[in-house]
Amino acid sequence: MKKLIVVLFCCFYLTSFSQENDKNDIMQVINNVFEAMRTSDSTLLKSSFVEEPNTFTAFINQEGKSTLVNGDFQRFINAVGQPKDQVWNEPIWNEKVEVDGNLASVWVDYAFYVDDQFSHCGVDAFHLIKREDGWKIFHLVDTRRKSDCVIPDEIKP
């Protein structure tokens, strides 16, 4: 009986340790996206995604209707990679990471700033797949709004 308890404890510990490592690796991929945006590094940005990810934005349009717009990933890469005088800064908080085998889901609150000027806030929802070359984002959807943003003081520039 003692051996069984020890074996079960070891299995639980190793599974928890492995999942915690996965969560750290997953958040590194997510953080690389925002670092790429801050530094205009399109190579770092592309390395965080699969070859052809799905990207969307969900928002309420000017007529008050729920809208979902399919993003253009290549356009996003080009925009990030363009040299610019301003810094695009998208701090995140309230990270929620769920993992099941080679599939992960990450939900984060964010605020987007151009230099120190607030632009908008919302939620980023990522889906990632673990491949031979590590965790990669295959799906990203964000929400965007300019009001009703509760941004923690430590996040504000």
Q: What is the CATH number of the domain that holds 109?
A: 3.10.450.50
Residue 13 is assigned to a structural domain of this protein: no
Q: What is the mean pLDDT of residues 101-117?
A: 97
Q: How far is CA 106 from CA 18, 54, 68, in A?
A: 17, 15, 19
**Residue 3 has what pLDDT?**
61
Range of the domain at 48: 23-143
CA distance 49 to 111: 21
Mean pLDDT over each residue of the chain, to the nearest integer: 91
Which of 145, 138, 110 minimizes the C-alpha distance to 124? 110
Residue 155 is assigned to a structural domain of this protein: no
Residue 150 is assigned to a structural domain of this protein: no
Residue 156 is assigned to a structural domain of this protein: no
pLDDT at 57 > cutoff 70:
yes
pLDDT at 30 > cutoff 80:
yes
| pTM (2 d.p.) | 0.86
Q: What is the tally of structural domains in the chain? A: 1
pLDDT at 1 > cutoff 80:
no
Q: Put residue 54 in one of left, alpha, beta given phi > 0 → left and psi -120 to 50 → alpha.
A: beta
